[in-house]
Amino acid sequence: MRDILTDLGEDPSREGLLDTPQRVAKAYQFLTQGYAQDPKAILQQALFAEAYDEMILVKDIEFYSLCEHHMLPFFGRAHVAYIPDGHIVGLSKIPRTVEVFARRLQVQERLTLQIRDAIDEVLQPLGAAVVIEAQHLCMMMRGVEKQSSRTTTSSMSGEFEKHRTRTEFMRLVQASS
Protein backbone atom coordinates (compact mmCIF):
# COMPACT_ATOMS: atom_id res chain seq x y z
CA MET A 1 0.00 0.00 0.00
CA ARG A 2 2.90 2.33 0.73
CA ASP A 3 4.25 1.65 -2.78
CA ILE A 4 0.85 2.41 -4.31
CA LEU A 5 0.66 5.69 -2.41
CA THR A 6 4.15 6.59 -3.61
CA ASP A 7 3.30 5.62 -7.21
CA LEU A 8 0.28 7.94 -7.01
CA GLY A 9 2.60 10.81 -6.09
CA GLU A 10 1.65 10.85 -2.42
CA ASP A 11 3.90 10.91 0.59
CA PRO A 12 3.10 7.82 2.73
CA SER A 13 4.73 9.53 5.71
CA ARG A 14 2.24 12.42 5.55
CA GLU A 15 0.12 12.64 8.72
CA GLY A 16 -3.16 11.74 7.02
CA LEU A 17 -1.63 8.73 5.25
CA LEU A 18 0.63 7.45 8.01
CA ASP A 19 -1.77 4.71 9.17
CA THR A 20 -3.45 4.17 5.79
CA PRO A 21 -1.61 0.92 4.94
CA GLN A 22 -2.77 -0.67 8.22
CA ARG A 23 -6.32 0.65 7.78
CA VAL A 24 -6.49 -0.71 4.23
CA ALA A 25 -5.19 -4.11 5.40
CA LYS A 26 -7.87 -4.24 8.12
CA ALA A 27 -10.55 -3.18 5.65
CA TYR A 28 -9.60 -5.91 3.19
CA GLN A 29 -9.50 -8.50 5.99
CA PHE A 30 -13.09 -7.55 6.84
CA LEU A 31 -14.25 -7.36 3.21
CA THR A 32 -12.84 -10.80 2.45
CA GLN A 33 -13.72 -12.60 5.68
CA GLY A 34 -15.83 -15.08 3.71
CA TYR A 35 -12.73 -17.14 2.97
CA ALA A 36 -12.57 -18.10 6.66
CA GLN A 37 -16.20 -19.22 6.80
CA ASP A 38 -17.91 -22.39 5.59
CA PRO A 39 -21.30 -21.62 4.02
CA LYS A 40 -22.35 -25.27 4.03
CA ALA A 41 -21.67 -25.53 7.78
CA ILE A 42 -23.82 -22.44 8.30
CA LEU A 43 -26.72 -24.06 6.44
CA GLN A 44 -26.26 -27.38 8.26
CA GLN A 45 -26.56 -25.62 11.66
CA ALA A 46 -30.27 -25.04 11.23
CA LEU A 47 -31.81 -27.88 9.22
CA PHE A 48 -35.25 -28.96 10.37
CA ALA A 49 -37.39 -31.87 9.23
CA GLU A 50 -40.60 -30.42 7.81
CA ALA A 51 -43.19 -31.70 5.33
CA TYR A 52 -43.61 -28.27 3.69
CA ASP A 53 -43.18 -28.58 -0.09
CA GLU A 54 -43.97 -25.14 -1.50
CA MET A 55 -41.57 -22.41 -2.55
CA ILE A 56 -39.70 -20.51 0.15
CA LEU A 57 -38.27 -17.18 -1.03
CA VAL A 58 -35.97 -14.81 0.82
CA LYS A 59 -35.67 -11.71 -1.32
CA ASP A 60 -33.93 -8.36 -1.26
CA ILE A 61 -30.89 -9.68 0.61
CA GLU A 62 -28.43 -6.78 0.50
CA PHE A 63 -24.84 -7.72 -0.20
CA TYR A 64 -21.51 -6.04 -0.84
CA SER A 65 -18.63 -7.74 -2.62
CA LEU A 66 -15.34 -6.96 -4.36
CA CYS A 67 -14.80 -7.55 -8.06
CA GLU A 68 -11.81 -9.82 -8.44
CA HIS A 69 -10.70 -8.01 -11.59
CA HIS A 70 -10.33 -4.51 -10.14
CA MET A 71 -10.93 -5.06 -6.41
CA LEU A 72 -13.64 -2.42 -6.59
CA PRO A 73 -17.00 -2.95 -4.89
CA PHE A 74 -20.11 -4.31 -6.47
CA PHE A 75 -23.31 -4.39 -4.49
CA GLY A 76 -26.96 -5.16 -4.80
CA ARG A 77 -29.65 -7.60 -3.81
CA ALA A 78 -29.91 -11.36 -3.94
CA HIS A 79 -33.19 -13.26 -4.18
CA VAL A 80 -32.95 -16.89 -3.08
CA ALA A 81 -35.67 -19.54 -3.23
CA TYR A 82 -35.94 -23.27 -2.76
CA ILE A 83 -38.62 -25.94 -2.67
CA PRO A 84 -37.98 -28.21 0.33
CA ASP A 85 -37.94 -31.99 0.11
CA GLY A 86 -38.33 -32.97 3.75
CA HIS A 87 -36.08 -30.30 5.29
CA ILE A 88 -36.23 -26.55 5.71
CA VAL A 89 -33.44 -24.27 6.88
CA GLY A 90 -33.59 -21.43 9.40
CA LEU A 91 -34.41 -18.34 7.37
CA SER A 92 -31.42 -16.31 8.63
CA LYS A 93 -29.04 -18.92 7.24
CA ILE A 94 -29.88 -17.95 3.66
CA PRO A 95 -28.68 -14.32 4.00
CA ARG A 96 -25.66 -15.60 5.95
CA THR A 97 -24.82 -17.90 3.06
CA VAL A 98 -25.07 -15.00 0.61
CA GLU A 99 -22.81 -12.95 2.87
CA VAL A 100 -20.10 -15.63 3.12
CA PHE A 101 -19.77 -15.94 -0.65
CA ALA A 102 -20.05 -12.16 -1.17
CA ARG A 103 -17.18 -11.56 1.25
CA ARG A 104 -14.69 -13.09 -1.15
CA LEU A 105 -13.12 -11.70 -4.30
CA GLN A 106 -15.87 -12.43 -6.79
CA VAL A 107 -17.53 -12.16 -10.13
CA GLN A 108 -21.30 -11.91 -10.00
CA GLU A 109 -21.80 -14.98 -12.16
CA ARG A 110 -19.81 -17.23 -9.79
CA LEU A 111 -21.48 -15.71 -6.73
CA THR A 112 -24.88 -16.65 -8.16
CA LEU A 113 -23.82 -20.26 -8.79
CA GLN A 114 -22.08 -20.70 -5.44
CA ILE A 115 -25.18 -19.69 -3.50
CA ARG A 116 -27.40 -22.04 -5.52
CA ASP A 117 -24.93 -24.92 -5.32
CA ALA A 118 -24.58 -24.64 -1.52
CA ILE A 119 -28.35 -24.74 -1.08
CA ASP A 120 -28.66 -27.68 -3.48
CA GLU A 121 -25.90 -29.64 -1.76
CA VAL A 122 -26.93 -29.10 1.85
CA LEU A 123 -30.73 -28.94 1.67
CA GLN A 124 -31.15 -31.29 -1.30
CA PRO A 125 -34.37 -29.48 -2.23
CA LEU A 126 -36.69 -30.21 -5.13
CA GLY A 127 -35.16 -27.10 -6.68
CA ALA A 128 -33.30 -23.90 -5.92
CA ALA A 129 -33.17 -20.49 -7.59
CA VAL A 130 -30.97 -17.43 -7.19
CA VAL A 131 -31.28 -14.06 -8.91
CA ILE A 132 -28.75 -11.32 -8.20
CA GLU A 133 -29.12 -7.69 -9.28
CA ALA A 134 -26.01 -5.59 -8.77
CA GLN A 135 -24.23 -2.37 -9.58
CA HIS A 136 -20.50 -2.57 -10.28
CA LEU A 137 -18.26 0.37 -9.40
CA CYS A 138 -15.71 -0.88 -11.94
CA MET A 139 -18.30 0.04 -14.60
CA MET A 140 -19.56 3.16 -12.83
CA MET A 141 -16.33 4.88 -11.75
CA ARG A 142 -13.99 3.83 -14.56
CA GLY A 143 -14.15 2.26 -17.99
CA VAL A 144 -17.54 2.90 -19.58
CA GLU A 145 -18.71 5.09 -16.62
CA LYS A 146 -22.37 4.04 -16.78
CA GLN A 147 -23.85 4.98 -13.42
CA SER A 148 -27.34 3.61 -14.04
CA SER A 149 -26.31 0.19 -15.31
CA ARG A 150 -27.30 -2.92 -13.38
CA THR A 151 -26.33 -6.51 -13.99
CA THR A 152 -28.73 -9.38 -13.37
CA THR A 153 -27.66 -13.01 -13.12
CA SER A 154 -29.74 -16.08 -12.36
CA SER A 155 -29.28 -19.76 -11.73
CA MET A 156 -32.00 -22.38 -11.38
CA SER A 157 -32.06 -26.07 -10.57
CA GLY A 158 -34.62 -28.83 -10.28
CA GLU A 159 -38.24 -27.67 -10.26
CA PHE A 160 -37.17 -24.11 -11.09
CA GLU A 161 -36.07 -25.29 -14.52
CA LYS A 162 -39.76 -25.83 -15.28
CA HIS A 163 -41.40 -22.83 -16.91
CA ARG A 164 -44.32 -22.59 -14.46
CA THR A 165 -42.16 -22.63 -11.33
CA ARG A 166 -39.60 -20.25 -12.82
CA THR A 167 -42.40 -17.84 -13.79
CA GLU A 168 -43.86 -17.92 -10.26
CA PHE A 169 -40.41 -17.27 -8.77
CA MET A 170 -39.73 -14.32 -11.07
CA ARG A 171 -43.18 -12.86 -10.40
CA LEU A 172 -42.55 -13.03 -6.63
CA VAL A 173 -39.08 -11.47 -7.00
CA GLN A 174 -40.50 -8.59 -9.03
CA ALA A 175 -43.45 -7.99 -6.69
CA SER A 176 -43.18 -4.83 -4.60
CA SER A 177 -42.33 -5.26 -0.96
Q: Any idea which residues carry the catalytic annotation? A: 67-70, 108, 136, 138
Burial level of 163, CB count in 10 A (0-12/13-18/19+)?
A: exposed
Q: Are 60 and 174 in contact (CB under 8 A)?
A: no
Give the phi and the psi of residue 2 in degrees, each rounded to 5.
-60, -40
Distance CA 62, CA 85 (A): 27
Give the phi and the psi of residue 51 in degrees, each rounded to 5.
-85, 0
Q: Mention every residue, 6+ apart, whose C-beta is less than 8 A from residue 129.
A: 79, 80, 81, 82, 116, 154, 155, 156, 157, 160, 166, 169
